[in-house]
């Protein structure tokens, strides 16, 4: 059995205060992929990753981004964008220093696990209305940047999937994609049809990642009916209490690995040890029978 969690912790120092370590020990995962660690490597809190080997790309943006993979044993190999041994897909160069992607080859299973934090993006210029926006209009700059990332990352994922297959490994892409794929993945989806993260072109991009010979949405495969399970709720209002959330955190696996998944849970409830939510995201935990 291989238990893998994907968790956007929204700052590891804040997550530690809210009960990350208690969650870590209680869940007993073999692999934990993290996003938005938001901490310089030298300032990672002592003991927060106890029992695990840390593979971390903090990026160069202080207090932002940062992706990691925690493994029980040191991985066989580690690859980040721009590093030797990982070809850089066309269009990714502007993102390589931002701490958005890292992948490791597990030592004890023929699996490559990647952790991705995809840009949040914004609205295209024609949808921007200052009266309805919390942020100042930017003429679609954040939207266009996200779309560039999506296009480039599709090329990267094709390469990563083929590379894993040539080396006899399965590929598991985990992380915060900042896109809800279908109406089942957003509460009250009709009113969000012009919201960033649920735009038609973003959803079509997810369509292009999936297929019987490409990648499989593991949680949706195991939970084909019903809304959610949601993985993110705004801190504002009563979104969490009303379960008015979004499913934007994923396990995308190559087909053979996806077929081995037999249980998937979203750790929605507050951490019992602290009575608090560890993050505005919830961990997505999947058990694979290898």
Q: Which residues are catalytic?
A: 176
CA pair distance 96, 107, nearest whole angstrom: 26
* Cβ–Cβ under 8 Å, residues 29 and 3: yes
Separation CA 155–CA 142 (nearest Å): 21
Half-sphere exposure of 81 (CA within 13 A, CB side): 27
As a whole number of angstroms, the distance between CA 145 and CA 94 comes to: 10
Give the tokens for residue 77. 């190999």
- The secondary structure element, H or E, covering residue 12 is helix 12-18
Tell me which residue of 134, 149, 140 sits closest to 101, measured CA to CA. Answer: 149
Both tokens assigned to 258: 């996806």
**What's the CA gap between 199 and 161, in Å, rounded?**
26
Q: Which helix (H) or strand (E) holds 165?
A: helix 141-166
- Rounded to whole angstroms, how far apart are CA atoms 228 and 54? 30
Burial of 8 from C-beta contacts in 10 A (0-12 / 13-18 / 19+): buried
For 191, which DSSP code?
A: G
Neighbour order of strands in the sheet with 261-266 = 53-57, 67-71, 31-35, 2-8, 284-288, 261-266
């Amino acid at each position: 059995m291989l238990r893998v969690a994907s968790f956007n912790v929204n700052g590891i120092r804040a997550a530690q205060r809210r009960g990350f370590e208690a969650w870590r020990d209680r869940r007993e995962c073999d692999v934990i992929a993290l996003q938005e660690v938001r901490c310089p490597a030298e300032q990672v809190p002592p003991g927060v990753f106890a029992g695990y080997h840390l593979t971390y790309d903090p990026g160069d943006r202080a207090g932002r981004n940062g992706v990691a993979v925690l493994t029980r044993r040191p991985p066989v190999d580690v690859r980040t964008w721009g590093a030797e041994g990982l070809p850089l897909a066309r269009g990714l160069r502007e993102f390589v220093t931002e701490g958005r992607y890292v992948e490791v080859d597990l030592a004890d299973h023929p699996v490559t696990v990647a952790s991705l934090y995809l840009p949040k993006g914004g609205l295209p210029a024609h949808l921007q209305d200052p009266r309805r926006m919390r942020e100042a209009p930017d003429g679609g700059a954040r939207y266009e940047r996200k779309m560039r990332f999506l296009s480039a990352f599709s090329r990267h994922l094709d390469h990563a999937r083929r590379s894993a297959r040539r080396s006899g490994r399965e590929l598991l892409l985990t992380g915060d994609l900042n896109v809800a794929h279908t109406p089942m993945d957003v509460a009250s989806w009709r009113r969000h049809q012009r919201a960033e993260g649920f735009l038609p072109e973003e959803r079509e991009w997810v369509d292009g990642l999936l297929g019987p010979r490409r990648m499989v949405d593991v949680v949706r495969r195991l939970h084909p009916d019903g809304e959610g399970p949601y993985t993110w709720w705004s801190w504002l209002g009563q979104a969490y209490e009303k379960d008015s959330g979004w499913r934007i955190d994923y396990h995308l696996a190559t087909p053979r690995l996806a077929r081995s998944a037999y249980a998937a849970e979203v750790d929605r409830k507050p951490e019992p040890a602290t009575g608090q939510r560890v993050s505005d995201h919830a961990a997505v935990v999947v058990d694979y029978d290898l």
